[in-house]
Structure 1
Amino acid sequence: MRFDDNTPFSHTPRCSQGPVGTVRTPDGQVKTVMLTAAHCFEVDDKTVRPETFTPVRVNGRVEYPRLGTVDAQRIPFEIQGELFDFYRIIDEPDWSFVRLDPGVSGSGASTSRDERGSAPSPEVAITGVKDYRDLRGDELISFDNAGQPICKDGIRTGRSCGRQLFRTQNFVWHVGLSYKPGDSGGINYDPRTGEAIGLSVIGYGPFGNSQQVDRAIEDAYGIPDSQVNAAFTPAPPAERADFAPLREELTRAKAENPPAAPAPAPAPTPAPTPRERLDQAVGSAQADAARFAGEAQQIPGAQNPAAAAQDLAGRASAAAQHHAEEIGAAVGGLLPRP
């Protein structure tokens, strides 16, 4: 991902790759897509381009060929101020589909190296998607997956495996995967079957949750429950590019892409002239006078007119004293000095 400005790659968001494959939409479209986490494109208050790039070693340098652009992305819940919103907040979807550019191919095998560049984890072919039964009605949590294994790959911590605990409508909750920033969006899979389970989202020490891949495909492309595998076909395992591990990439990127030059400091605002100071002081006094006059007209209709009048008188007196001092100082600036 890259910020929508001149910020170099060494200062842009980084996430991991989720499942890659072909999706067939109900209206007949066929798209080659890669999944990742939506929050990778929602960084603080900065706008992130809806594009993805990848760090590849080329002739001793790190280059960033573009992979594609966002094709579909989650829509955050609108909070309604209801008790049910708490559940919706912790179960808010977090998926983004990147449509790969023509000529870009992806591997359907899951593997990773950690940030230090350790040996890559053994490749695991992704065979399909774990298509969980959607929760219905008042069913907020299901334990039908409790105890089942789950593994993940990510650019920060590499591979780790654990156990599923339970699931909500959008997330599988688990223990043992231990995500760190940068692992977000990475594939979570069932080591027994090779089915894609989810995308790494948030870690709370040994606990964490992953966005269910089946729910993401259903919501993004209007696929009915239980029909995800008829609509999505994982890419076959393929040879991978020579990707730079995170630490190496950052070290080289910072050397090759120095921080953007800071914007020049704005020119100092010239101090107002004595005449401008007087005009400002008089204008401020007139504005307060008009405001207090408007409040005075409302006093007869107040619940306690006497108290309202007393309050207004106190505030008007203080304002008058303040404006008198301001105007006096401004007038003094206009007078010739002895």
Structure 2
Amino acid sequence: MTDTPDNPMDTSGTLDEALERIHLAGPEFEGLLSNHAPMAVEALVRHGQAPVVHRWFDRYSTRLEDMPGSTAPVTAQNWHEALGDIRRVADWTLYFERETADRPWRTVLAEWWPRLLPGIAAGATHAVIRVGHSVRTLLDGEETAPRVRELAHALGYWAARSQPLPELERLAPAPDAAAALDRVPLVAEQAGGIRNRFAQLTGFPDWPGQVPDGPAAARAALQELVRASTHRYATHGYGHPVMLVHAATAPNAVLRTLPALPDALWAPSLHAAWAASAAVTAAYAPREAAPVAEHQAPQDARELFARAAAHGDDHTIKFTDTALDVGDATALAAAGLAIELNPPAR
């Protein structure tokens, strides 16, 4: 994989300014739609598009809703009862703001990651994706107050929306991630919302099989999954251009978080990422593959991301960011397809 951001340090201060604006809003709007602003803004800044960030957010923010009020504090004693209760999202956010103010953010993340990992499907996987963008920023640059606060908001959203997948059967093993994704049984009724679709899940191929031998093997398998799911969008993204981006962006968020986690959490993180990618695939993928149209993407990664930024759709920006992490011709073609299929921001 490649990762060659134009300016990951963001000496302009644009990212911190944007995050301060974003934190006035809640993590969802219009019922169940996730606030993608922190993720899209981080990707825009990272890939040299800081000058367009505030204009992009001005347009996007017209859809957002204020952060709801707090009801009762989440504490170390009562957090179990608040887990998965979206009505407590403000309580959760304040809890993680206190935690990250009192302790190093890596310590808080390491404590809560295994608690939240079973609910990786939270917010249609947007919660873990938001965490991944936040952690990448903290690892690559200065640990400013808005960036640490963004991690608190991301963890708070994940805790409030925690959604364990149903108990699933382990099906026959697959030799690699691409084959495993091809063998995921699709849900019988691909209609309705994501909760209805996830409720129909029955089982996934047993991949990667045995527990990886050490953190390096877990990381390599996760990289393979991100590559395979990104490539698969090039042939199957037409089935649901918005939702299928998450089959790649969710495991990539986990991959981005690994360096901030203890080694012992890398293998469980891989298995949770596989479950998330397989669940989205089962819920939204079409049965037939389409040919990969190589003309859909330019060879220059900078030009491709500039096209995604001009397109303006939040999902397209995030998926192109992941495709650039993978970096090969098929990944760039997949991003080009996302730009073509998803409606541009208005």
TM over 0.5: no
User: Scaled by the length of structure 2, what TM-score is found?
Assistant: 0.23
User: Scaled by the length of structure 1, what TM-score is found?
Assistant: 0.23
Larger gyration radius, structure 1 or structure 2: 1
Bigger proportion of residues as helix: 2
Bigger proportion of residues as strand: 1
